A and B are shown apart, each in its own frame.
Chain A
Amino acid sequence: MWQVLAEELKDLGLTVLAIALDTADAARPWIEAAKPTYPCLIDADHHVAALYNLVNVPQAVWIDEAGRTVRPPESAGSDDAFRAMDRNTGAMPADVLAQRQWRKTAYLDAVRQWARDGSANVNALDAQEAITRLPQLSDAEAEAHAWFRLGQHLQAHGNAGEAEAAFSRATSLHPASWAMWRQTAAKDARGLASGAAFWARVDALGDRPYYPPANIVAPEG
């Protein structure tokens, strides 16, 4: 997914570090097909999601050379275009597609500019702004991460029944986490949790976004 960007920016001192919030078995065919030259790490326990308060994919965090967060987690160029899809045909309105493409391009261009300009870049946030944009975590969400961790461990050790109960606790305590829900929901033949239950959950969002658009300053030109 990030191969072009990774190759383009590696000599500018930027590393794409991809984190699969997924099991190794499920991630393997995708990674093998993409033949990435950048590190693709497997995070079956969603440990990085717990550390950074991540709730979906793709989300990204920008980290500078000193290891400081200059952009907290946000949607990595995705938007809610898919919600305008005709659910029978998969067709999307042209204007929605155009806006999706614009958003994605603007986001990736912002990454490119940051790679070139570093801390001088308008999208590399100062400390105060970065702190303001940190996602907030509730006590219920912190507990949800603990239940998810327990569930993953129990599932990996053959206790599927109790694992399912733990996942159920996790997703009810942290309904905003699509990562927990989709990881643990029933999948179709393609491995996707995108059936009726997914759409019901998306519809229940109402006016709230599935992918809140990244609040970047779009590069000019």
Chain B
Amino acid sequence: MITILHEQRVTTHPPVCHTHGDAGALWLNAPAIEAATGWQWKPEGLCHGDVCMPVPPSARAGWVRELPGQAPALNVAEMWRHSGQPVVHDQAGQTWVLGTGTAQRRAALETLEAPDFTLPDLAGSAHRLADYRGRKVFLATWASW
């Protein structure tokens, strides 16, 4: 199984095709891409809401694989890098991080809408920043180290 980390998502996926000799490739079909990242693979590209990142026509032959009897697969690692976002993985190619790029972070922060997140407290109860709408929030970090 392949584990993919993206933002706070952690998903596992069966490998969809052989990647021998291509350790930098991450092949996923459309349902896996959506589960792992929230992005939908459509004819126009990888889409999230109104935003679509087209698969470059020149790269399509290398980044899209038609698989007999299965859904086609996209090399998400290449698409992710192409969008200016970091992709890192362990040596075995079993655990991948599809990171968030500088442009994407900056765009989110420049809206000034405080990025939402959900985190547990010590008891395991989940707290979501958006649940505090209507109150001022003094968000403060600390650590034991």
Give the B-binding residues of A (Cβ under 8 A): 1-2, 5, 9, 13-22, 24, 26-32, 39-43, 45, 47-54, 56-69, 72, 76, 111, 114-115, 118, 127, 130-131, 134, 136-139, 141-143, 145-147, 149-150, 153-154, 157, 159, 162, 166, 169, 179, 182-183, 185, 187, 191-193
Contacts and interface: CB of A to CB of B under 8 A. Distances in A.
B140 interface: yes
A205 B32 CA distance: 44
A199 to B, nearest CB: 15
A61 to B, nearest CB: 4
Contact of A20 (B108, B129, B143): B143
B141 A2 contact: no
B142 A1 contact: yes
A180 B100 CA distance: 17
A39 B129 CA distance: 11
Contacts of A127: 112
A168 to B, nearest CB: 13
Nearest to B134: A65
Contact of A15 (B3, B7, B132): B132
Q: How large is the interface on B (under 10, 10 to 19, 20 to 34, 35 or more residues)?
A: 35 or more
Nearest to A142: B102
Given A48-B141, A65-B135, A115-B136, A149 B119 contact: no
Contact of B90 (A60, A63, A154): A154
Given A63-B139, A130-B112, A146-B86, 16 more contacts: A18-B142, A21-B142, A48-B139, A52-B139, A59-B141, A63-B114, A118-B136, A131-B110, A137-B102, A142-B86, A142-B101, A150-B89, A153-B95, A154-B90, A182-B145, A191-B145
A154 B95 contact: yes
B89 to A, nearest CB: 7
B102 to A, nearest CB: 5
B137 interface: yes
Given A42-B119, A130-B112, A142-B102, A19 B140 contact: yes
Contacts of B139: 17, 19, 48, 52, 60-63
Nearest to A194: B145
